[in-house]
Amino acid sequence: MTIGIGLLGLGTVGAGVAGILASPGGRHPLVGELELRRVAVRDPQRPRALELPAELLCTDANAVVDDPAVDIVVEVMGGLEPARSLILRAIAAGKPVVTANKAVIARYGQEIAAAAAAKGVYVLIEAAVGGGIPIIEPLKQSLGANRIQRVSGIINGTTNYILSRMAAEGAAYAEVLADAQRLGYAEADPAADVQGGDAADKIAILSGLAYGGPIERAAIPTEGIDRLDARDVAYAAQLGYVVKLLAVAQHLGSANQEGGDCQLLDVRVHPTLLPKQHPLAGVHGVNNAILVEGDPVGQVMFYGPGAGAGPTASAVVADILNIAGIQHVSGNQLQAPLDPLLAANSWRPCRLVDSSFTSHRNYVRLQTSDQPGVIGKIGTCFGEAGVSIQSIMQFEQTGGALGAGLQGLAPADAEIVVITHEVSEARFRAALTEIAALEEVAAVAACLRTL
Amino acid sequence: MTIGIGLLGLGTVGAGVAGILASPGGRHPLVGELELRRVAVRDPQRPRALELPAELLCTDANAVVDDPAVDIVVEVMGGLEPARSLILRAIAAGKPVVTANKAVIARYGQEIAAAAAAKGVYVLIEAAVGGGIPIIEPLKQSLGANRIQRVSGIINGTTNYILSRMAAEGAAYAEVLADAQRLGYAEADPAADVQGGDAADKIAILSGLAYGGPIERAAIPTEGIDRLDARDVAYAAQLGYVVKLLAVAQHLGSANQEGGDCQLLDVRVHPTLLPKQHPLAGVHGVNNAILVEGDPVGQVMFYGPGAGAGPTASAVVADILNIAGIQHVSGNQLQAPLDPLLAANSWRPCRLVDSSFTSHRNYVRLQTSDQPGVIGKIGTCFGEAGVSIQSIMQFEQTGGALGAGLQGLAPADAEIVVITHEVSEARFRAALTEIAALEEVAAVAACLRTL
């Protein structure tokens, strides 16, 4: 049995996929059953590292999808359109789809899933999150016995690279970003990475699988690292924390809604302080890691390269293999029922709760005049609002801890860092408003969630 | 569609599985299609935390396997027999099997796989390695596009607990073992754990899947932690290393054998020095982690609880779900072809090479007389044998580094620790024999592999 593959896009990932298909030796023998039959490219004349027969290349992506020799459509062109339309076109033709396109899946996942379910074809997306790390399949299959409590991940390599270097070198964000762009770790337009949008796409996908229902991508509160001050990274380190851009999807409970149970979720992306012993704290550079907490499994973590041609192509071909493997079971019948684990259709409604109803720990940096009693006043404000404090420290501008109440600096030089215990966002915000109004407090300079 | 489950054993893991099946709410909806129909126990009268209807329990395991209401047989009784015979009996009856029994699979995996292939049934073993960590399925499916270069893991929680405490407290092996036994982290007879046999069972299974061929379990060189000296753990720490019981399966190449290619592997279990920055170095306590290195994926790591009722039951039920999911595809036909990824049959021969042909780095501790020139003589011996040295240090018995040539201690007090660069085992052993014969060297007190 040979299975015809049609490739939409021959960029980094597409070339990686073609390279694997062209060299099946030493891989799973099922790879040898896959045959690259047609490839859509923008410019067939462009020189490429991987030589493909000229007759495989064409510029009409629709023709690749429609080609009767193409059994599985692999979309690795990226971008929203025409990727979305091509995926839907393949589904309409009854052809299973493998895609690495997190942006399309995060935004049009429901539309695509509905079309796929109606036609009875698979749309597999292992490469859309975490590059080569197997995380989609574990959430769909290996962890299916669990009630998932939380999924938290470092799922954007560019920002983790920048944060790792900021922590190691004490360097400023803008400086490291410029260097990352020069080295090819960040794109010329870094917005999707540094503002958190890419991570939000990915946590929308992961939480949809973990909790069994579609997640409204646009409703995910998202904060990037582009306004992060090197000082907060340094203070966090002194207090035993590292700062990571964390994407988190937490299960809060369920609510009765129109007769059925609706899962209440807190899904968000923001720079977060992690204790240095936390399993995700040791994830450096462009690596990704996803921590899944469930009952009864406990904590399991998946770690590896979150991007790159090789890792992403590994995930794309894994999905192709899964479809090929299942076709063995159905005897290659096009109309066989789907494996419900692999198909991963939604099975219950999910809803994001407003952040003000969630509780968490906080790191706050305040710029204050350096007068005796400031720490006392701040502590009193938090205390009266019912916000319990874990630590409160005064720092010089240069970053050294002074301890409370030390004298002799110019008033503008004092910075006070507070780490709270877990508190509801509403209560915390109320306390912060009062503190900001204190005459000794010049500014609330930074506010970061803390695990 | 409801699928009948027969459970062989109702110990920790069995009770965990029964607990999941009894409470499907919030888990994947496919769990709701599973029904526990019969359970084999040794003593039906024994009080249990989980109440099961009395009519489900019986003492005749064969009757559970033979029961026509049982569609999938779940073996969680442990031990070699009757577990092996019951698995074969289920296969002969055409019933898929899920087992957590690493000892049976490591020893009788080939016999069981052959029987399963002949009958066209699945034997799934996610719970046999790494407890709740999804590692079997990624090796079978998600990483199938890769040429696997190395699998290395901390896959025995008991020894990792002991080593973590030895490192943290500077405590002796026997002392920590006794405490671990008191706390239930080590069994009364700890041999299988501390002598490395359990880890060898597991790496036999992992390497069989990673490289696609059966691995001769009895041929795996295995060294435990039961003769590990606390001093070596302390010295390693001072040199920037941690000591872990590592199970490693490395691909060395292939050789022509009877007309076909045979994969040459170096599979072994032994205490190993890992640099503190190594991804596996941060795995503490009873946790497990498996690092897989492949082309093109690079390094991916899987981390989590390696044992325990909940995690292991999570893996067992994942396997049951996989079989249930596939049965949807085949329309519950008993004679449907198998998914070759899930079935994971061998597809090429593998052979373990003799350790003397492998190369690696080494840590050696020598007891020497403390005379000027000893370090020079040792260095010369290694140098003349072509063994390149990374570092050579003299320690007091109490563990402090003295540096080379320091005077004033009693001769018996000197210890010299050498870390070599990568060298062939044969060449290293030859050099060590010469060094042991030096009159200044009282003993080769320890010798550990080093990553």
**Token pair listed for A350:** 């999910």
Let me know if B330 is exposed, middle or buried by CB neighbors in 10 A (0-12, 13-18, 19+): buried
Residues of A in contact with B303 (CB under 8 A): 279, 300-303
CATH number listed for the domain at residues A143-305:
3.30.360.10
The rounded distance, in Å, linking the Cα atoms of B374 and B378 is 6
DSSP letter string, A270-319: EEEEEETTSTTTT--TTEEEEEEEEETTEEEEEEEE-SSHHHHHHHHHHH
Residues of A in contact with B317 (CB under 8 A): 144-145
CB pairs under 8 A between A and B: 217
Rounded to the nearest angstrom, the minimum Cα separation between A449 and chain B is 25
The rounded distance, in Å, linking the Cα atoms of A334 and A95 is 9
CATH 3.40.50.720 residue ranges for chain B: 3-134+309-343
Cα atoms in the Cβ-side hemisphere of radius 13 Å centred on B73: 31
pLDDT digits (tens, 9 = 90+) for B99-114: 999 999 999 999 999 9
The shortest CB-CB distance from A329 to any of B126, B326, B347 is to B326
DSSP B336: P
CATH H superfamily, domain A358-450: ACT domain (3.30.70.260)
Q: Which among A102, A202, A276, A377 is annotated as catalytic? A: A202
CATH number listed for the domain at residues B359-450:
3.30.70.260
pLDDT digits (tens, 9 = 90+) for A281-337: 999 999 999 999 999 999 999 999 998 999 999 999 999 999 999 999 988 776 789
- Mark yes or no for CB contact A145/B321 under 8 Å: yes
Q: A63 falls in which pLDDT band (50, 70, 90)?
A: very high
In this structure, is the dihedral angle defined by the CA atoms of residues B301, B305, B307 and B311, taken in order, positive or negative? negative
The rounded distance, in Å, linking the Cα atoms of B418 and B447 is 10
pLDDT digits (tens, 9 = 90+) for A6-46: 999 999 999 999 999 999 999 999 999 999 999 999 998 88
Residue with the larger pLDDT of the pair A40 and A407: A40
- Mark yes or no for CB contact B304/A299 under 8 Å: yes
Rounded to the nearest angstrom, the minimum Cα separation between A416 and chain B is 33
Among B21, B146, B290, the residue to mutate for chain A (most A Cβ within 10 A): B146
The rounded distance, in Å, linking the Cα atoms of B152 and B135 is 12
The rounded distance, in Å, linking the Cα atoms of A265 and B78 is 39
pLDDT of residue B400: 45
Which chain B residue is nearest to residue A322, measuring alpha carbons? B141
Query: Which residues are CB-contacts of A376 (< 8 A; sequence separation ≥ 6)?
Result: none
Parallel, antiparallel, or unpaired: how do β-strands A123-124 and A97-99 relate? parallel
The rounded distance, in Å, linking the Cα atoms of B86 and B102 is 15
Rounded to the nearest angstrom, the minimum Cα separation between A151 and chain B is 14
Helix (H, G, I), strand (E, B) or coil at A208: helix
Q: In B94-244, which residue ranges form alpha helices assigned H by DSSP?
A: 102-119, 136-137, 157-169, 173-183, 191-194, 197-211, 230-238
- Mark yes or no for CB contact B27/A138 under 8 Å: no
**Do A342 and A150 meet the contact criterion of CB atoms below 8 Å apart?**
no
**Do A348 and B175 meet the contact criterion of CB atoms below 8 Å apart?**
no
Q: What proportion of chain A, given as a percentage, has pLDDT over 90?
A: 89
Angle B211-B214-B219 from CA coordinates, rounded to 5°: 105
The rounded distance, in Å, linking the Cα atoms of B65 and B376 is 68
Among A21, A28, A137, A261, the residue to mutate for chain B (most B Cβ within 10 A): A28
DSSP A382: H
Among B142, B164, B303, B328, the residue to mutate for chain A (most A Cβ within 10 A): B142
Q: What proportion of chain A, given as a percentage, has pLDDT over 70?
A: 96
- Mark yes or no for CB contact A28/B144 under 8 Å: yes
Helix (H, G, I), strand (E, B) or coil at B39: strand
The shortest CB-CB distance from B143 to any of A16, A318, A347 is to A318
**Do A98 and A319 meet the contact criterion of CB atoms below 8 Å apart?**
yes
User: Looking at B17-166, which runs of residues are DSSP E strands?
Assistant: 34-40, 57-58, 72-75, 97-99, 123-124, 147-154
**Do B342 and A325 meet the contact criterion of CB atoms below 8 Å apart?**
yes
**Do A126 and A102 meet the contact criterion of CB atoms below 8 Å apart?**
no
**Token pair listed for B175:** 């002392």
The shortest CB-CB distance from B137 to any of A16, A137, A326 is to A137
Q: What proportion of chain B, given as a percentage, has pLDDT over 70?
A: 95
**First-last CA distance in chain A:** 51
The answer on pLDDT for A400 being more than 60 is no
Rounded to the nearest angstrom, the minimum Cα separation between B303 and chain A is 5
The shortest CB-CB distance from A296 to any of B145, B314, B336 is to B314
Residues of A in contact with B121 (CB under 8 A): none
Q: Residues of chain B whose pLDDT is less than 50?
A: 398-411
In this structure, is the dihedral angle defined by the CA atoms of residues A168, A174, A176 and A177, taken in order, positive or negative? positive
Q: Give the CATH class of A3-134+309-343.
A: alpha beta
pLDDT of residue A412: 56
CATH 3.30.360.10 residue ranges for chain A: 143-305
Query: Which residues are CB-contacts of A346 (< 8 A; sequence separation ≥ 6)?
Result: A110, A113, A208, A212, A213, A214
Task: Confirm or reject CATH 3.30.930.10 for domain B144-305, answering yes or no.
Answer: no
CATH 3.30.360.10 residue ranges for chain B: 144-305
Residues of B in contact with A339 (CB under 8 A): 325-326, 328-329
Among A124, A300, A317, A322, the residue to mutate for chain B (most B Cβ within 10 A): A300
**Do B318 and A145 meet the contact criterion of CB atoms below 8 Å apart?**
yes
**Token pair listed for A304:** 């590896």
Instruction: Specify the length of chain B in residues.
Output: 451
Residues of A in contact with B127 (CB under 8 A): none
- Mark yes or no for CB contact B300/A325 under 8 Å: no
- Mark yes or no for CB contact B27/A330 under 8 Å: no
The answer on pLDDT for A397 being more than 80 is no
Which residues of B does the annotation mark as catalytic? 202
Residues of A in contact with B13 (CB under 8 A): none
CATH 3.30.70.260 residue ranges for chain B: 359-450
- Per-residue pLDDT, averaged over A240-253, amounts to 97
Quote the ipTM score: 0.94
Q: A356 falls in which pLDDT band (50, 70, 90)?
A: confident
- Mark yes or no for CB contact B145/A321 under 8 Å: yes
pLDDT of residue B397: 57
pLDDT of residue A403: 40
- Mark yes or no for CB contact A134/B133 under 8 Å: no
The rounded distance, in Å, linking the Cα atoms of B123 and A339 is 18
